[in-house]
Amino acid sequence: MKKSLLLALCCLSATGFAQKFEGLALTPPMGWNSWNTFANKINEAVVRETADAMVKNGMRDAGYTYIVIDDTWSLPARDANGNLVADPAKFPSGMKALADYLHSLGFKFGIYSDAGTKTCGGYPGSWGHEFQDARTFASWGVDYLKYDWCNTGTANAKDAYLRIRDALYTAGRPVVLSMCEWGTAKPWEWAGDIAHLWRTTGDIYDSYDGVKGWERGWKKILDLQYSLVENSQGPDGIAKYAGPGHWNDPDMMEVGSPGLTFAEARAHFSMWCMIAAPLMAGNDVRHMTEEIRAVLTDKEALAISQDPAGKEGYRVLAEPAKSREVWVRELGNGDLAVAVLNTGSVAADIEVDWEYFGWVMKGETYQIRDVWAKKAAGDTKKAFVSHIDSHGVTLLRLSKVALAAK
């Protein structure tokens, strides 16, 4: 019986019958992940309190619907039948009850595993147990799987992620698959039919441009993502691999974490919106300032992030000597989103000459809306100047004058 089932599953995968679940993550997924703040201290109480807070503070209604439990949630070993078991000291009600609670509040439930023999934290990985674990996750009501790449030896990344994709599809419950392979095998080139999002770099931490071992500040992560392929500064770079159902993922957000100034946090959020990155909050949302809550739930910024056309933004100008970078994102209704970064160590007046956008504006005049200032800011007939804090951003939405007048 077991031999027949194994043969059937192998044949299913080999014939291409299995696939990733379509119709999911048509815009960049939004939610919260436990790792940045809690790491191995995660438990059921924290998850429930986080969900309750996200209802009260408006994050759920703003679109943050995935609550993802990261590494260290399980016991250190599988049970006698080879099943993963949630640590009863951390999750006394069990994962099914916790998922039911999250679902009752309108959230989706996410969990973590690893393609290797052990997770990055040393807990059981899914290598050799992919179909078994997928059935377990389906029985718990899992909607999202973050799948890491530790302890994989000489395994082929594409083969390993195909196995978990096929296993999830065979289990029958639609699951968003988040590949956390760190970009080592250039997943943007091959993962579109396997996963809904894939990591492009190593891990983030709450810094602007710092380096701490394997971790990088958010600006370092942003720069790394845009140095991965040729022509990376334009739409033919890594941006061309992103779109509805398949996203480049520069890691979770550190918005609201203690290592960033407010200007850096708002710039970080703005840039993740600009590049169509998944918006997975990593701060302690139970205890955050009103300023940070307002940033995370801003309707105009989120409209850029969640634009249904799914075009990733890209850098059009980088001038370190003038402490400025300019980024553009083409939106589905013909509008443009523009981000102006002050990369310098002091506040400065930053100018944008719209001639840099000639190929995308095509001679049209656009009205300018300052997203964070919440006001009109003239039009593109003359250069735009904004006073921007160190490591801060001005986020703009441009609309064609003829369209805006209707």
Identical topology for domains 8-17+24-305 and 314-404: no
pLDDT number for residue 359: 83
Which CATH code fits 8-17+24-305?
Answer: 3.20.20.70
pLDDT range class, residue 341, cuts 50, 70, 90: very high
Count CB-CB contacts under 10 A for residue 401: 14
pLDDT number for residue 227: 86
Mean pLDDT estimate for the chain: 94
Judge whether 133 counts as a catalytic residue: no
DSSP string covering 133-172, please?
HHHHHHHHT--EEEEE-SS-TT--HHHHHHHHHHHHHHHT
Judge whether 307 counts as a catalytic residue: no
Averaged pLDDT for residues 313-341: 96
Task: Identify the bridge partners of residue 67 per DSSP, sorted by sequence position.
Answer: 32, 109
| Choice among 114, 133, 143, 148 that is catalytic | 148
Angstrom CA distances, 240 to 157, 231, 243, 246, stand at 21, 11, 8, 11
Burial class (CB within 10 angstroms; exposed 0-12, middle 13-18, buried 19+) of 101? middle
Query: Domain-by-domain residue ranges, the chain?
Result: 8-17+24-305, 314-404
Right CATH number for 314-404 from 2.60.40.1180, 3.20.20.190, 3.40.50.10440, 2.60.40.10?
Answer: 2.60.40.1180
Angstrom CA distances, 348 to 231, 263, 291, stand at 29, 13, 22
| Choice among 114, 166, 203, 298 that is catalytic | 203
pLDDT digits (tens, 9 = 90+) for 224-256: 998 887 556 677 789 999 999 999 999 999 999
Q: Which residues contact 312 (CB under 8 A, 6 or more apart)?
A: 238, 239, 242, 243, 248, 275, 276, 329
- Determine the Cα–Cα distance for residues 225 and 385; give it in Å rounded to an integer: 28
